Structure 1
Amino acid sequence: MKLWLGTGLVEEDAARLSPFDRGFTLGDGLFETLRVREGAVLRLSAHLARLAAGAGVLGMALPALDLAAALAATAEANGLAEGVLRLTLSRGTGPRGVLPPAEPNPTFVITAAPLPAPAPPARLVIAQGTRRNDRSPLAQVKSLNYLDNILARQEAARRGADDGVLLNTQERVAETSIANVFAVIGGDLVTPPLSEGVLPGVMRAAVLAEGAGERPLTPEDLGRAAEIFLTSALGIRSVAALEGRTLPGRAVAERLRARIAGA
């Protein structure tokens, strides 16, 4: 595999990162997962806008290069007509301590992977061991620190589920460990607003553009939903069960898959 490192393509075996990189030592950075379809990156402008917004929150400079061209070159170098690109940006190396260096030298990496096989409808549980901090500016940043998400996913696996729904500090629904949550409740398609500690997903935005609404949701709301599905950059995934309750509904998710590219 070839990957983009810094300013150009390198072979995977030749790629080197410093052990003092703040992305490794502190999780000081951002990432984007991008779907490639028929050789083109889907929703590229939305991904780059979110990356820029996240960099602004962290006070981090974006690399001075054509990011779209770098992504396209990485896909082409790996023969990736259908697949996934991951763009990772860290603040780069720095001395010990939390305060970033005055003149950081960011690390920029793009990797490529095949498109995973379609996942079956997900089995969800409500995560009990951790919460999404809706009061933190990092709730809307796709940062390199995913430890709350990892804890929720580990808990779900222990409980025989595919993913865990993260509640926020108000005990309301935020998202799962890797996706935004939509539910059909009383005939309305709804999702929690960003103020609930929700990552502004690019597929989430595409579903909102199709007429979905936003409102705070409780676990009890999800418990009476006729249909639940998850959205991420890689598509729309129906939910088969929540806390052991079967959810047979698939119609809204199937309709949206037919309407939205890459869903």
Structure 2
Amino acid sequence: MSTHNVLSYAKRIDEICLGEWWQSKDYLDIFTGMIYHIPLHLMNTLNSENNWLLDDGNETRLIIRNLNEGIYYQTNRSKKILGINQNVQILKKLKIFTLYDDLSTKHEIIKNDYRVFRSKVRSLAIRKSTSLLIGSNLIGTYILSAEKYLEFLKKFKDRNSSVEIWYAPHRYLPKHLLQDIEEIGYKIFSYDTILELAQVQQGWCFEEYTSVRSTAIDTLEVLYGIQGKYISLGQEYFVSIDKWEECMQIWKATNRIIKL
């Protein structure tokens, strides 16, 4: 059997470009972090023993909820003329590889305990009186505006004036906003890899992690043993009540909350 990370190639091409060479092979596993057209086509077209859903932050919880409620099974978006097979029934065989141990589903779950990574970071130093606020792609999608986002950041900084606070920017954050955040008094944590690995590369980790929505809070706790906290904001910060309630569900799932 052959195992290929086919999604790394599929991101660069459309489903209809997957030719006979791909389909003539046998695959052990197909991995995806999202449920959309390319993974669905691959699962239906390629001969694989296992189809896996890997962790992709909060999206994983939403996918599990949609699977449990049967939302994906309501529409088949296959395009027969183009040869695109998006038969959603294939998702009933989906297996889950996740760090979350509180998911309730009929799908097979294998717990990811990061045992190899954790063995390499046991001796990593913790820098006292440091806190990392982890940014997410929130402005315009969840938070009303850049002004409201900066308002929240300033309020949080003022409440924690005795701590050295760093900000980990999301990759979509404009440079001018990053400058504004720095002017508020945050140190900018720059990194060119995933946040979880960046701690190892810098040679030390923060004493505290916070975020409005990023599930890096969960992975950092598993990897480094440091319990992070979610920052709970009022409805007035959000573009809609639906987005606020979505975040409320995340906050309710934990007792580690900082209310502003």
Higher relative contact order (CA 8 A, sep 6+): 1
Give the alignment's TM-score, normalised by structure 2. Answer: 0.26
Give the alignment's TM-score, normalised by structure 1. Answer: 0.26
Which structure carries more helix by proportion?
A: 2
Bigger Rg, which one: 2
Which structure carries more strand by proportion?
A: 1
